[in-house]
């Protein structure tokens, strides 16, 4: 029997507008499904723990009918640093039929621009501090010296950094080392995926005391329905006068005609799941925090495992 948890929401209308002769959908509505399966595990006494991220409503997305269905009881938790929401399953009983968990929800996603915000001293410290794979390093200081001007606003410096990384990096998932959000790798190699682009942005911004943060979710193709191959991430930086300003540098690299747009704007063809890096799982994991949290985290007898299968799909309801 499956257990369910639901969260209510609202529906909004859809509008269109043009940008550089490209039609950008103002708002988008779709349903989303996140499916996880574990194979049969029949050993008695195996301690099995599974964490799965859950989306939340914010200024740019409204989540409704959020349901977590599982063949075992599920609990929901919120971690304290960033407020990320997650589902958790734990058992020491054999799983002769494996485990099946599905997260489903409806979403209205809006086009995003700057979000007004007044950060507290504690928040400023959080978004200026280094974290795993985004350390303090002279490499980032050297970059900052060439493009950042103390007399410029955070917006102008953020735009200079955006253009620098766009010119420096190529979206390229060949070889090894990409995909960890490793700012030093990105700086030295000059290629990677979205995590690497935006980790380098975070690193240089924080080096020059521009608060910045890392956001991750999934891209949602502009079609009626389909499957989604993997995650997508982006970044935001803070300007005291304008608030949080979004950038999607890797998407601009793949779509050069949208370079101007993706500084300060995000299209609605996405859903955000979690914010931040070095995420502490709840209940606490014996292996410490995760680098970023978008795919399931599975532990068997205290050891991380990837024996699960995962799939993601959507249906547009525009």
User: pLDDT per residue over 112-125, tens digit each?
Assistant: 999 999 999 999 99
Radius of gyration of the chain (CA): 20
Do residues 20 and 78 share a domain?
yes
User: Are 21 and 96 in the same domain?
Assistant: yes
For residue 301, give its domain range: 16-111+279-316
Report the distance separating Cα 156 and Cα 93, nearest Å: 57
Token pair 């690299």 is found at 253
Average pLDDT over residues 17-33: 79
- DSSP character for 256? G
Whether residues 24 and 157 fall in one domain: no
| Residue written as token pair 């943060």 | 213
Structural domain total, the chain: 2
Looking at the fold, whether 227 and 145 belong to one and the same domain comes out as yes
| Same-domain check for residues 129 and 185 | yes
Q: Which DSSP helix (H) or strand (E) runs through 296?
A: none
144 and 252 part of one domain: yes
pLDDT, tens digit, 9 for 90 and up, residues 273-308: 999 999 999 999 999 999 999 999 999 999 999 999
Residue 5 belongs to some domain of the structure: no
pLDDT bin (cut points 50, 70, 90) of residue 20 is low
**Cα–Cα dist 262/159, whole Å:** 11
Per-residue pLDDT tens for 48-100?
999 999 999 999 999 999 999 999 999 999 999 999 999 999 999 999 999 99
> Which CATH number characterizes residue 130's domain?
3.10.620.30
Domain boundary among 266, 289, 307: 266
116, part of any domain: no
In a domain, 182, yes or no: yes
């Amino acid at each position: 029997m499956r257990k369910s948890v639901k969260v209510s929401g609202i529906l909004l209308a859809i509008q269109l507008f043009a940008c550089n002769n490209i039609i950008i959908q103002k708002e988008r509505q779709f349903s989303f499904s996140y499916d996880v399966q574990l194979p049969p595990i029949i050993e008695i006494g195996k301690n099995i723990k599974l964490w799965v991220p859950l989306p939340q409503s914010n200024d740019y997305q409204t989540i409704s009918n959020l349901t977590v269905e599982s063949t075992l009881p599920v609990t929901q938790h919120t971690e304290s640093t960033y407020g990320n929401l997650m589902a958790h399953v734990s058992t020491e009983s054999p799983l002769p039929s494996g485990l099946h968990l599905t997260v489903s929800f409806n979403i209205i996603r809006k086009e995003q621009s700057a979000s007004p915000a007044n950060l507290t001293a504690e928040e400023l410290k959080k978004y200026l501090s280094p974290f795993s794979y985004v350390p303090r390093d002279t490499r980032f200081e050297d970059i900052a010296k060439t493009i950042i001007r103390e007399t410029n606003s955070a917006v102008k410096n953020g735009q200079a950094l955006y253009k620098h990384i766009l010119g420096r990096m190529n979206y390229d998932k060949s070889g090894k080392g990409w995909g960890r959000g490793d700012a030093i790798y990105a700086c030295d190699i000059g290629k990677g995926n979205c995590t690497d682009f935006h980790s380098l942005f975070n690193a240089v911004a924080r080096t020059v005391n521009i608060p910045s943060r890392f956001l991750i979710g999934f891209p949602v193709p502009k079609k009626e329905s389909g499957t989604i191959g993997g995650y997508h991430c982006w970044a935001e930086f803070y300007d005291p006068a304008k608030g949080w300003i979004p950038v999607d540098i890797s998407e601009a690299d793949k779509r050069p005609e949208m370079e101007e747009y993706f500084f300060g704007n995000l299209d609605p063809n996405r859903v955000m799941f979690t914010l931040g890096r070095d995420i502490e799982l709840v209940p606490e994991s014996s292996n410490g925090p995760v680098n970023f949290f978008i795919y399931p985290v599975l532990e068997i007898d205290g050891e991380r495992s990837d024996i699960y299968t995962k799939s993601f799909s959507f249906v547009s309801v525009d």
